[in-house]
Amino acid sequence: MEKFEVLISEEQIKQRLKELGKEIKEFYNDEEIYAVCVLKGASIFYADLVRELSDLDVRFDFLACSSYGESTESSGVVKLTKDLDESVEGRNVLLIEDIVDTGYTLSYISKILKDRNPKSFSICTLLDKPSRRKVDVDVRFNGFEIEDKFVIGYGFDWNQKYRQLPYISVVR
């Protein structure tokens, strides 16, 4: 497989996740977290982030959604393809997603989960592309802001490939 130019290195990710872990611990102050992973893109970020929360009570759950359109562009039409296993009513939901780009995906998921009466609802993303935003999303924790570039690696795919790269790279 070809080598890609590194945008955010393994070391930078590791360092930032430690900081995010601290921010999240302070915010929840010993309360239990219902950590929801948005498949598939957030899977690697999720797995690394929850290990920075090892002294909190954390429950796992997963959902998946699809957005139709070109491969590098969200169409705005989002569909839930896998729902959570348990009810989030009365729980502190921490939604963990790979990126907030146009915002369509997160605003769609937020609406669905907030309607289920969680005790609290917060979003944590690894990346934010603010210049691409179409709808407003309240992201409480974010790893890195990036420019309008299509990234791969560390969970991010290009036609379902390259998710396994341990760093984040840019597709030219």
Residues in the site for ligand IMP, rule: CB under 6 A? 41, 67, 74, 97-106, 150-151, 156
To ligand IMP, the closest distance from the beta carbon of 96 in angstroms equals 11
Encoded one letter per residue, x for contact with Mg ion by CB under 5 A and - for no contact, window 59-98 reads: ----------------------------------------
Considering only residues 17 to 46 of the shown chain, the ones binding Mg ion according to CB under 5 A are 41
Q: What share of residues in the chain are helix, strand, coil (percent, to 5)? A: 25, 35, 40
Q: How far is the CB of 150 from Mg ion (least distance, A)?
A: 13
Characterise 122 by phi-psi region: left (phi > 0), alpha (psi -120 to 50), beta (else).
beta
Given the residues 57, 61, 101, 115, select the one marked as catalytic.
101
Residue whose CB is less far from Mg ion, 25 or 163: 163
**Least Å distance between CB 56 and Mg ion?**
25
CB 124 within 8 A of CB 49: yes
What's the DSSP call for residue 51?
A: G
Cβ nearer to ligand IMP, comparing 52 with 98: 98
Q: Which does 24 bind (CB under 5 to 8 A by kind): Mg ion, ligand IMP, none?
A: none
H/E stretch holding 26 reads helix 10-28
Tokens of 124: 């944590």
122 binds, among Mg ion, ligand IMP, none (CB under 5 to 8 A by kind): none
For 125, counting Cβ atoms within 10 Å of its Cβ (0-12 exposed, 13-18 middle, 19+ buried), the class is: buried
> What six digits make up the tokens of 44?
């690697």
Q: Residue 47: which H helix or E strand, with range?
A: helix 43-50
> For Mg ion, which residue has the nearest CB?
41
**101 classed as catalytic:** yes
Collapsed DSSP state (helix, strand, coil) of residue 122: strand
Beta-carbon neighbour count of residue 22 at 10 Å? Answer: 12
Q: Which is nearer to ligand IMP, 117 or 135 (CB)?
A: 135
Catalytic residues: 101
Residues at the interface with Mg ion (CB under 5 A): 41
